[in-house]
Amino acid sequence: MKSAAKQIGACALALLLFCILTRFIFPSDYMIYEPIRDPAEKALNEGEHEAVSDHPEVARSMEIRIRDGYVQIPVHPEGRGEVEIVIRDRQGIAWASRYLRVSPLKTVYDMQTGGFTNDKAVMIAVTLFWLLVSAIMMWHYFLSTGPAYYAYSTIYFSGFSLFALVSGGLMLRVTVLHIIRPAEFSMLAAYRVIQGASRQFMMVTTPLILLFALAMIISNIALLRHMTPRLQNVLGIIVGVILIGGESLGWYLFTCDFVGSEFEFHVQETLHNVYATIFVYFECMLVGSVICGIHAARNQPQQDKDFIVILGCWFRRDGSLPPLLRGRVDRAIEFWKAQKEATGKEAILIPSGGQGRDETMPEAEAMKRYLLEKQIPEEMILPETASLNTYQNMANARAIMEKLNPEGKVVFATTNYHVFRSGVWAAQAGLRAEGIGSRTIWWFWPNAFMRECLGLLQRRWKQEILLLILLIAFFGLLSMLLS
Q: Is the pLDDT confidence value at 368 over 60?
A: yes
Q: Kindly tell me if the per-residue pLDDT of 19 is higher than 70.
A: yes
Query: 19 burial class (0-12, 13-18, 19+ CB within 10 angstroms)?
Result: middle
H or E segment and range at residue 438: strand 433-438
Rounded CA-CA distance 480/474 in Å is: 10
Query: φ, ψ for residue 436 (rounded to 5)?
Result: -130, 145
- pLDDT on residue 342: 92
134-138, 365-369, 370-374, 463-467: which has the minimum mean pLDDT?
Answer: 463-467
146: left (phi over 0), alpha (psi -120 to 50) or beta: left
- The radius of gyration of the chain from alpha carbons, rounded to an integer in Å, stands at 31
467-471 long-range Cβ contacts below 8 angstroms, 24+ apart: 467/281, 468/277, 468/278, 468/281, 471/277, 471/281
Residues 430-439, mean pLDDT to the nearest whole number: 93
Overall average pLDDT of the 358-362 stretch: 83
How confident is the model over 284-304, as a mean pLDDT? 90
Contact criterion met (CB below 8 Å) for 397 and 384: yes
Q: What homologous superfamily does CATH list for 28-110?
A: Immunoglobulins (2.60.40.10)
Closest CA to 311 of 330, 333, 328, 324: 328
Rounded to the nearest integer, the mean pLDDT of the chain is 87
Tell me which amino acid residue 216 is.
M
Rounded to an integer, what distance in angstroms lies between the CA atom of residue 332 and that of residue 345? Answer: 14
d(CA 193, CA 201): 10
The yes-or-no verdict on residue 95 having pLDDT over 90 is no
Rounded to two decimals, what is the model's pTM? 0.85
pLDDT of residue 356: 78
Confidence of residue 133 (pLDDT cuts 50, 70, 90): very high
pLDDT on residue 163: 92
